[in-house]
Each structure stands twice: as C-alpha cells, then as structure tokens.
Amino acid sequence: MTAGMSRARRRVGVLGALAVAASWSVVFVGAAQPAAADTQSKQWYLGAMQVEDMWKVTTGEGVKVAVVDTGVNSSTPSLQGQVLKGTDATEAPGDETDDYTGHGTTMAELIAGTGKGGGLKGLAPGAKIIPLRIALDEFEDEKPSITIPDVANAIRAAADSDARIINMSFGGEYSSPQERKAIEYAESKGKLLFAAVGNEGHKQNKEEYPAAYPQVVGVASADRKGKVSSTSQHAGTVDVASPGSDVPGWCDNSFKSYCGGDGGTSSATAIASASAALVWSLHPDWTANQVLNVLFDTAGRDWEDGVRSKYLGHGLIRPSMNVLKGKGDPGPPDISPLTKEKTTGAAKSSEPSSSKSGSPQPAKNGEAVDKAVAVKESNSSDNGNQLGLILGVAAAVAVLGGVAYAVVRRRKAA
C-alpha cells in the first residue's frame, strides 16, 4: 500500500454479519415474487423503512446527489432519465458514465433507481444523480498514468455542482492535504457528505478516509436483523448505521445481471444518502446541518441522545420518523451536528489548495455506550417497525455465514 494521492482505497462490500450492537424488528418483503422482480424482492430494507408510505409524501424530488465512485452507467433501465451531467476526474479514456466495475452504478440505483426492468429500486427515486468518476481498486493498476488527485478534484467538482448531497462509498487509510481541503470546501458550500466507514471490522479495523474527516458522516452497515455487519468498521468514525448486508448489486461492468452479494458499508452509505434526500426534499429550505440533525435525532437507539456508539454512531437511520410523523429537531441552521461548530461564512476558492493540513482531527465517537455487553433490548412502535436496540460491544465475535472475501486495494469487490 502506498501513501499520498495514490493512497490505498478500498471499495466496500463483503459478506458476513456480526451480532454486535443493534437489533431492529423489520417488516420484510413477502413470499417469493416473479423472476422479473427478484432483485427488488431482495431489497429487504424497503419494507422495513416503510418506503411505500414515504413515497406518498415525497420521493426525493428536487434533490440532486453527487456519486463519487467508479462512474455511473446512465443507460440501465433503472437509471434512464435519472443521471445528469457529471465529471470524470480520472483523465482516463471514457467519461463519468463509463463505470469500470458496476459499483458506482449500483450506488446510484440504490439512491435514485426507478426499478424499471426489474432493476434496483432507489430509496429516493425522485432524486437525480450527478456522477463523478474516480480511480479505485484495479483501475489504478490498469491506468498507472493517473497521478492526479482525482478524489479531491471530484469532491470539489461535486461541491461546485447543484448536488446537495455527496455520496462517497469508498475509503482508504491515508489522508492528504488536497483531499482534506476539498472536504472543507464542500462543507463551506453547504453540502451534506456521507462516506463508508469500511469493511475490515473483522480485520485491521483502521479508520478510513473520507469517513474519518470530521465534516463527513461515517456510515456503518447493519443486516436485516439490525445487527452490525461483521465487517463494518468501528474505529471511531461511525456517525450513523444504515442497511447494508445482503443488499444486491451489479455483478460487474457488463451490466447483464445483479448478484445477491453483500453491499456492506458501500450500500449503507448510499441508503443513508437517499434517506437524507427524502428529508431534504420535504424541507427544501433546511440547511445540511438541519437535515443531518433530524436524521441523528430520529435514529433508532435506546441510549442517551447525543452520545455516539462506536458501532452504531447515533443509531439506525429512520427517515420515516420525519417524513411520516414529523419528528426530529432540525436545530440551528449554522451549527454542524458533527463538529458542533459554525459552518457559515464565505466559501473558499474552488481551486485545489496545496497548503498543508491544520490541526489533528477531533475524535468522532465516544465510548460511553460501548462499555456494556448486550445490556438489554427495548422496543419502540413510533415508526411502525418496532425498532429495538441492544447496546454494547459483543464479547465474542460470531460470524454468521462467514466472510467470502475481503476488499482491499487492487482486489475486486462485490
């Protein structure tokens, strides 16, 4: 692994589930469905999150989401008419609609897919996608001439776009001054940034960037029982948890079929971004801070508000609590729920900065919630899903189903 702008980057998506810190009772999709809808029947979280009821109120219309990833194929049945003009930050052959693995297209469909042709249904099908292509995994090896700070440039392009939300379903253990400045710039432009915390919780479990930046919402993965996925990292960067285990996606860049697989924290991040799109669509005058504050305020947990679990952050994301019940305190428009600092002020220049980074980042998560082991289970019927949570850290790691393969740089992921 290398440092600097060619830092290790891990796309996130591996198999396995671990009973660690949460449990939610969900409403599952019913019995087996026709083959054409088989992929959608595997999107177990749609029923759990009450999407049909939410879509009667909002589908995310009016909100644009920037997807910084491997590119987005705009011609899949589920994405036709959903993808706007974006940017290719790789300077490699092709453009932002040339997805070299299928990963970015999967993320886009999970956010704003229409489900046409039996494809993935997005949580916010009324939203639009702005694709930003960067070099990840094996693409870095195939295109060794790519030495530009593509991630930083892509984030800046997203910040300068009409997107309100920036989805980053990737990560690596190295930071850079350029990337840090790009993240700060995006925040100054009023963007809401989500990133995957990584899928090596069962291994090295190191903090990863961009999730580790204090201005970015780090997203953990939960399975269909509400348990934290076995691979979901918990290195102090988790701000919220979202469905990620057993989420299907495109098998590869041939776009011929979907694989069952496991989306991990990649998919969890996309679903969190879509959740924000639903809330923001309903409250278009809110700032990014207010949307995020409501998502944190309504997250499923039974510990003290404002305390972050190492594994779950503020809890399991529940946009239906605001969309259907009007719950959640938006708080002040100019105070970040992440840093507790003011975010107002003139935006910085959009030109990449070569200056060095400032002071060390503050720790994102406390450990007060994680000292007990499987303390108790409580039930809440507020959102109709009877969401229950078990606090604490599991004393023993119980892998359910095993880990098929890990995802590291230069290795193909689900």
Q: List, in sequence order, every residue forming a beta bridge with 11; answer none if it has no partner.
A: 170
Residue 115 contacts residue 248 (beta carbons within 8 Å) = no
pTM of the model: 0.79
Tokens describing residue 371: 């000292």
Tens-level pLDDT at each residue, the chain (414 residues)? 333 333 334 434 322 232 233 334 433 233 333 333 579 999 999 999 999 999 999 999 999 999 999 999 999 999 999 999 999 999 888 999 999 999 999 999 999 999 999 999 999 999 999 999 999 976 755 655 555 589 999 999 999 999 999 999 999 998 999 999 999 999 999 999 999 999 998 888 999 999 999 999 999 999 988 888 989 999 999 999 999 999 999 999 999 999 987 789 999 999 999 999 999 999 999 999 999 999 999 999 978 888 899 999 999 999 999 999 999 999 999 999 999 999 964 334 344 433 333 223 333 544 434 443 222 222 222 333 333 332 222 222 222 222 221 222 322 223
Indicate the burial class of 207 (C-beta count within 10 angstroms; 0-12, 13-18, 19 or more). Answer: buried
- Spatial distance between the Cα atoms of 7 and 216, rounded to a whole number of angstroms: 19
DSSP state of 377: E
List % helix, strand, coil for the chain (3-state, nearest 5). Answer: 25, 15, 60
Topology, domain 4-400: Rossmann fold (3.40.50)
Would you kindly state where each structural domain of the chain is located, as residue ranges? 4-400
- Spatial distance between the Cα atoms of 101 and 10, rounded to a whole number of angstroms: 13
- 337 cis-preceded (ω within 30 degrees of 0): no
- Spatial distance between the Cα atoms of 21 and 38, rounded to a whole number of angstroms: 30
Enumerate the active-site residues: 69, 103, 266
Pairing of strands 165-168, 249-250: unpaired
Tokens describing residue 217: 């919402």
